[in-house]
Amino acid sequence: MSQRLRIALTKGRLQEQSVAMFESAGLDCTPIHHPGRRLIHALPNYPMDAVLAKAPDVITYVEHGVCDLGIVGKDTILEHGGSFYEVLDLGFGKCRFALAVPEGRDFYASYHSRTIASKYPEVTKRFFRDKGMDVDIIKIEGSVELAPILGLADGIVDIVETGATLKANGLTPIETVAEVSARLIVNTASMKLHKGQIEDFIARCAGETRKAP
């Protein structure tokens, strides 16, 4: 029996590209374009309801099974972890995690202890642990580029897309920590319970991913 699936989409940067992918896969997304005050959007021509959420909440909803599927950046997956299937690299939302320091600064030159600011303390911790380097990590909630300017940190680990924000703030990326893009994730129980339906949806998304340049 066909039942409606529920998918959580990450609000903001990934939202537009997720909806564009759905539409080119033939899903009518009119309710998402005209949400009003509704928080759950029933797609008229496909048995699926969509909710929009902040990235970490997408993972929470999928892990708890209140959403069968989710679209979320690999950055959030790397930071939060969690128990779900990551079934597809959707190929959009491409950027990278980079270690960036003030221009002209030789980050590795001295043995003094270093402080790194990041919105992603877990990713930062793993990166330096793998290097065998002991650093102090300070969690910042946004505009991390400010931390070295204010003298709070020697460097930052952050998302770099075009590099414009780093450049405008006198910072330069010196190492890539990880590549990032949007991923389709699936609740483990839903994958068993609604296998056919979920496979149909994955195949539609995969078809669009192959068409992308």
Would you tell me which residues interact with ligand PRP (CB under 6 A)? Answer: 142-144, 158-165
Instruction: State the minimum distance, in angstroms, from the CB of residue 107 to ligand PRP.
Output: 19
Instruction: Specify whether the CB–CB gap between 71 and 11 falls below 8 A.
Output: no
Q: What is the C-alpha to C-alpha distance for residues 41 and 109, in angstroms, rounded to an integer?
A: 54
Query: Would you say 116 or 198 has its CB closer to ligand PRP?
Result: 116
Of 159 and 198, which has the nearer Cβ to ligand PRP? 159
Cβ proximity to ligand PRP: between 84 and 97 the closer is 97
CB of 162 to ligand PRP, least distance (A): 3
Note whether 45 and 28 are within 8 A (CB): yes
Minimal distance in Å, beta carbon 149 to ligand PRP? 13
The least CB distance from residue 67 to ligand PRP, in Å, is 22
Smaller CB separation from ligand PRP, 115 or 165:
165
Q: What gap in Å lies between CA 131 and CA 89, rounded to an integer?
A: 27
**Where is 20: in which H helix or E strand?**
helix 13-24
What element of type H or E holds 187? none
Q: 136 and 113 in contact (C-beta within 8 Å)? A: yes
